[in-house]
Chain A
Amino acid sequence: MSSTPFYTPPRWSATFDAHSIAEIHRAAQTGIYDIRGGGAKRKVPHFDDLLFLGASVSRYPLEGYREKCGTDVVLGTRFAKKPIHLKIPVTIAGMSFGSLSGNAKDALGRGATQMGTSTTTGDGGMTQEERKSSKTLVYQLLPSRYGMNPDDLRKADAIEVVVGQGAKPGGGGMLLGMKITERVAKMRTLPVGIDQRSACRHPDWTGPDDLTIKIQELREITDWEKPIYVKVGATRPYYDVALAVKAGADVVVLDGMQGGTAATQDVFIEHVGIPILAAIRPAVQALQDLDMHRKVQLIVSGGIRNGADVAKALAMGADAVAIGTAALVALGDNDPHWEEEYKKLGTTAGCYDDWHEGRDPAGITTQDPELSKRLDPVKAGHRLANYLAVLTMETQIIARACGKSHVHNLEPDDLVALTVEAAAMAGVPLAGTNWIPGRNGM
């Protein structure tokens, strides 16, 4: 018989896991909710659960290079005098100067321009640098209206009315004191160093009937030249898209729960809003029911990482995608190069999400001039352009394999699902079967 004591390994609770316990400790100590940047981090059904059906005996592929696979997109054909022509179906999502450094905004503009696509301003207004470096710039109209002015409205190439974003549908902007520097404060008409409290509703309209009138006003101010986008976080996508169309939008931007934010409460990010995979099909259905598919364009975002994600979003009916988090990573966010500094911040490269603190070693989500210097806008711009090029080529590879001469010809029938959830959400059959769960209901 053995004389050593009986050993049972320590057992973690699936419910009270390490993260939950640490969070309760932190809440008890500070009395404030956990704030962070980024999008939903927990695993949710996503594009990885879908696969393409490539060429076979019944479907023939296109040759790379010689046989053209078009990637261009036109946005804003419904009402605008000057629709936007993009070379690639990937745009840069709205991110503010304030949450990002000036160098980061400059880099985004450079990279996007190099590849023939657009960037978007954020909560806080348009900087001269971004207007200069970004050939096609979308100007956001947010509930806070920080920095909003008609001159910038007239300088913009499109206007995006922000109802919400995927990370926090129903929430307003948040920027904490350490990032409200003199320049940021001046742009936003706020005292330096305070914690910005932002409105979650627009000040002068609530609801689609009044949004219709607001869009009218924006068109009259800009002489009907520019496309008007309406951006919503993914919650009730069928109705939101239908209402945006009825309110007069040229383009709808739909952001899923994996979409990032500069700063908000962790509970908001993880528990409000739905995955983009679940939102696209109802959104496209709404457009089709109104006979507006391809007439009002749909841009989707929230967790787009590679060309497969782009291709799948397009196959489900989107006209283009937007990237936010991925664009920052391409610039250098969470680069292992800064691992020593991430360790000092209590984290590691790939996990760093305390962007609200403004201490980003990569110089991207910070206002600190010393840290910002680390990001060379020209070099970072090239990195972004490289990444956008890869996204585009990957999308084309997949499209050609499915026999498409333009990425917009990708369709739901090119897709199958690996899981029951993904099949039900995307409305495509489980691989190797004819079965689409829940086909009778929405």
Chain B
Amino acid sequence: MNVVDLSQTPLRELHTRLHNLPKDTNERLWKLINVHGEHACAVGLTQPIEVHIHGHIGYYCAGMNKEATVVIHGQCGVGVAENMMSGEVRVKGTASSAAGATGQGGLLVIEGDAGTRCGISMKGIDIVVGGSVGAMSAFMGQAGSLVVLGDAGANLGDSLYEARLYVRGKVESLGADCVPKQMTPHHVAKLGRLLKRAGMDADPKDFKRYGSARKLYNFHVDNVDAY
């Protein structure tokens, strides 16, 4: 295991090492300590390595992640796993706003709460939140799944495209064009698999599904109030 002390090693140096690991590298396990709210940590990874971050981390941790597994043993700032392509990012504590923003793939698990705009503009990422999510989550969500074991704040799924939203707790309010949808056996099975992947002990049947009413897909003057 490689232990990197971020109070000694500049972030740039860490990233140069991580970004240049050969495809068949043996250096698959990394531990980062003394992180102290550093921004842009473990970003742009491309190999199926495992990075454990011990402490509280700043903005954009694991940004644009590909293939790697990143575990944050603490809280994280704005935009964790933003634009992730594949791999897995897990936050043991809470996440700030815009968690998983514009993510295209992979799995983001937040064991605590997530702030506002969780999954904003999501494009294929799967996000599973053990706690609650803040207001305006899944805003303009295009694809992927957002699963919330706790509650969802105001304006969930505002301006939603095709992302699927599952909430077990209360939803404060739904955003424009976001409506409750049926939970068919197909959805229950799919959700069950996702919860299992995320390591969450929850019964998919306890969740309600939300999705796009698709009324805003083509501009029409009758919808002018929604704009």
Contacts and interface: CB of A to CB of B under 8 A. Distances in A.
Q: Do chains A and B touch in the complex (CB under 8 A)?
A: yes
A213 B98 contact: no
Contacts of B155: none
B60 interface: yes
Contact of A221 (B44, B79, B124, B221): B44
Contact of B216 (A154, A197, A203): A197
Contacts of A204: 59-60, 78-79, 82, 97-98, 101-102, 120
Given A189-B123, A204-B98, A214 B217 contact: no
B44 A220 contact: yes
Interface in B178-227: 216-219, 221, 224
Interface stretch (B12-20, B126-134, B145-153, B167-175): B12-20
B121 A223 contact: no
B169 to A, nearest CB: 24
A217 interface: yes
A315 to B, nearest CB: 39
B40 interface: yes
Given A189-B124, A197-B216, A223-B15, A214 B60 contact: yes
Given A150-B64, A195-B217, A217-B40, A223 B16 contact: yes
Interface residues of B, number: 44
Contact of A213 (B39, B162, B217): B39
A194 B39 CA distance: 37
Nearest to A220: B40
Contact of B121 (A31, A144, A151, A195): A144
A324 to B, nearest CB: 25
B104 A189 contact: yes
A132 B60 CA distance: 30
B218 A177 contact: yes
Contacts of B143: 189
A191 B217 contact: yes
Contact of B140 (A150, A177, A199): A199
A154 B44 CA distance: 9
Contacts of B39: 213, 216-217
Interface string B46-78: 100000000000111001101000000000001
Interface in A198-232: 199, 203-205, 210, 213-214, 216-217, 219-224
B189 to A, nearest CB: 24
B98 to A, nearest CB: 4
Contact of B64 (A30, A149, A177, A190): A149
Contacts of B156: none
A32 interface: yes
Interface in A28-75: 30-32
Contacts of B59: 204, 210, 213-214, 217
Interface in A296-353: none
A290 B123 CA distance: 40
A192 B19 CA distance: 36
B217 A194 contact: yes
Interface in B109-149: 117, 120-121, 123-124, 139-140, 142-143
Given A145-B102, A189-B143, A213-B40, A150 B83 contact: yes
Contacts of A32: 219, 221
B83 A189 contact: no
Contacts of B58: 213
B85 A150 contact: yes
Contacts of A219: 40
Interface in B89-109: 97-98, 101-102, 104
Contacts of A205: 78-79
A217 B60 contact: yes
A153 interface: yes
A393 interface: no
A222 B16 CA distance: 9
Contacts of B139: 203
B11 interface: yes
B121 A145 contact: yes
Contacts of A197: 140, 159, 216
A210 B78 contact: yes
B161 interface: yes
A371 interface: no
B43 interface: yes
A221 B102 CA distance: 16
A148 interface: yes
Contacts of B101: 145, 203-204
Contacts of B102: 145, 148, 203-204
Given A31-B221, A177-B218, A217-B60, A149 B159 contact: no
Contacts of A151: 66
Contact of A223 (B12, B104, B162, B224): B12
A199 B44 contact: no
Nearest to A177: B218
Interface string B21-61: 00000000000000000011001101000000000001110
12 contacts: A145-B123, A148-B83, A149-B85, A153-B64, A189-B104, A190-B161, A191-B161, A203-B117, A203-B139, A205-B79, A213-B40, A220-B11
Given A144-B121, A199-B140, 7 more contacts: A145-B121, A145-B123, A149-B64, A150-B83, A153-B44, A154-B44, A195-B219
Interface of A: 30-32, 144-145, 148-151, 153-154, 177, 189-191, 194-195, 197, 199, 203-205, 210, 213-214, 216-217, 219-224
